[in-house]
Chain A
């Protein structure tokens, strides 16, 4: 058949580009920056995490050592907090995704015909950023305090136990995390969905896929870069967050996350090795998680 005639016209891999000294030279400031502001603190953190208490030292005095038991000790002491951090962050990320996706889809796809509405909604998504994160969280704490209108109404409607609380509960912390990080989910989702070529959706519908299947088999996979970016931008800071879970904000003694433990160890207990070891554990778990996640989500082609 005639097809054979043009079957050879395949995409060829690009020839490797010639290395340029100038390019390397231009990279230098970036590398220096990374060494100075990323590598240095990292090395410092690792060294601190291995310190041992000074033999005759006072509180907060440690010496460089190879005291790897610090890691065992913090895991033993704070395993519930470690699990809680990732648990809360996961739930908050899933909730943020569930709230954000329809919103981002509406702004990015459905509202394309009305650019004014699109911009207005984007502004509304970003608007909370204009007010300090702390103030917003404190405002929620007030809005949902025991004697607030919302809580007393819920109690009056028997939707909440008469002696129930909102602040200081895991629910409050997850609520805070979800609320505070939702824009970080919505914006990457929006930027992917905004570029979503609806012709693919029409093609799917043309190929006998109903609306749900089109969404599942085409829209979701094509918006995967946004989902991955959004979930990472939400999950990573949420796992390390210490504001929402803090007792001063939405948390209570039984909702403390790793960030709070690190803060207490660093500031109050002056136990710098424990704080450093926890930070490294947090970082390592997140790195592993991100690695596996990016690999499993199969977005290499789309990223």
Chain B
């Protein structure tokens, strides 16, 4: 399955660059006219479906935060502290403190789906209905690359000094000018303790023939491939390329085609663990904590011996939002250690806020010792961040990964 890969290297010289760009624009018009079939409807169609070309970057909306004390926050499900009445205590406190009323919406259930929903508005610089969204590193990387985010004013976020040092200089956003971590997690391996009393140590243990057909991996390419590549001895944060990727994807291909791996899923992998269609899998750390609490202490999570992946979901402010300062105020609020601890105690993911652990001891000392929520240096050293991919790499590696997910 080979597809024409999107991006070709950009010529260095800015003058040549602009010449080519304008030549291409002219060409586009002719082609569009030819294909447009002159139908009045096609004009509408063109407007409705502009997949956009590289050069026209949208510009940021004017900030009206001073007069508009509201904020729309799009986030994932079960990703903030929630009381039995369905209120979000930290948000209630935020509104009391700042006067900004927050419309918290569980609008993201998948990075790709959410992107598919809003990308056309983003390309036109329109308000997508969210002033801040929490998305995963690689998706944030794409937004920043395409100019879909606003630059954050760090003066409005003094608490940013509480950001874990290791997360300050990601390759996709040096200095955190556009994105600030919300919560993070590990991808590692988990198994059913009743079925596999001996436990597992490495990703290769998943390929044991006794587990045939009962193994699951994540449909999130970076987590699954990251774990396999680490197992293969690749430093996923470092400077690896096609060769390393190909070697690892062949392992996955072989395991899927042989039937060793049967389930390749996103969030719904938990159902398979519960129903025991899956006995061992590559999973996300926080989920296993929740699953054990919900359905009996039956599963165990471990960072594989060769290391697991570390990912973060990050706040960003979409290009069309007129409430950037309000968003910055919110981010600053959640970087207070006490607030971060309150959230971490509820969501069971890793908080990026230094001092949250100390604050958590006050809430629940046992919680503070949980390495999956408040990992120490040693734990963190076993987790690696998947390096950023260029558009071309993204398309190519995703295509290969999807070709396994889609089968022949």
Number of A positions contacting B (CB below 8 A)? 61
Residues of A within 8 A of B266 (CB): 248
Cβ–Cβ contact B395 & A269, under 8 A: yes
Residues of A within 8 A of B24 (CB): 55, 63
- A120 contacts the other chain (Cβ, under 8 Å)? no
Residues of A within 8 A of B404 (CB): 253
List residues 61-99 of chain B with CB under 8 A from any CB of chain A: none
- A253 smallest CB distance to B (angstroms): 4
Residues of B within 8 A of A256 (CB): 405-407
| Docked pose: A253 CA to B217 CA in angstroms | 12
Residues of A within 8 A of B10 (CB): 56
Interface of B is mostly: helix
CB within 8 Å for A247 and B113 given contacts A163-B212, A270-B395: no
- B108 smallest CB distance to A (angstroms): 13
| Docked pose: A64 CA to B29 CA in angstroms | 8
CB within 8 Å for A52 and B271 given contacts A59-B394, A64-B35: no
Q: Mark A24-45, 1 if CB is under 8 A from B, else 0.
A: 0000000000011001110110
Number of B positions contacting A (CB below 8 A)? 72
- A267 contacts the other chain (Cβ, under 8 Å)? yes
List residues 245-295 of chain B with CB under 8 A from any CB of chain A: 256-257, 261-266, 268, 271-272, 275-277
- A146 contacts the other chain (Cβ, under 8 Å)? yes
Of A73-81, A121-129, A206-214, the segment with at least 4 beta carbons within 8 Å of chain B is A73-81
- B156 smallest CB distance to A (angstroms): 29
Of A9-17, A137-145, A229-237, the segment with at least 4 beta carbons within 8 Å of chain B is A137-145
List residues 218-255 of chain A with CB under 8 A from any CB of chain B: 247-248, 252-255
- B243 contacts the other chain (Cβ, under 8 Å)? no
Residues of A within 8 A of B34 (CB): 66
- B363 contacts the other chain (Cβ, under 8 Å)? no
- B375 contacts the other chain (Cβ, under 8 Å)? no
- A53 contacts the other chain (Cβ, under 8 Å)? yes
B residues engaging A (CB < 8 A)?
1-8, 10, 17, 20-21, 24, 28, 31-32, 34-37, 39, 41-42, 44-46, 48-49, 51-55, 110, 112-113, 115-116, 119, 142, 145-146, 212-214, 219, 256-257, 261-266, 268, 271-272, 275-277, 391-392, 394-395, 398-399, 402, 404-408
28 contacts between A and B (CB under 8 A): A39-B39, A44-B46, A44-B48, A51-B51, A55-B20, A56-B8, A56-B54, A56-B55, A57-B53, A58-B145, A59-B6, A62-B53, A63-B28, A66-B31, A77-B1, A80-B407, A81-B406, A142-B271, A147-B277, A148-B275, A247-B219, A247-B265, A253-B407, A256-B407, A261-B406, A264-B402, A269-B395, A269-B402
Closest 8 CB pairs of A and B: A44-B45, A145-B275, A58-B391, A147-B276, A254-B407, A59-B391, A77-B1, A64-B32
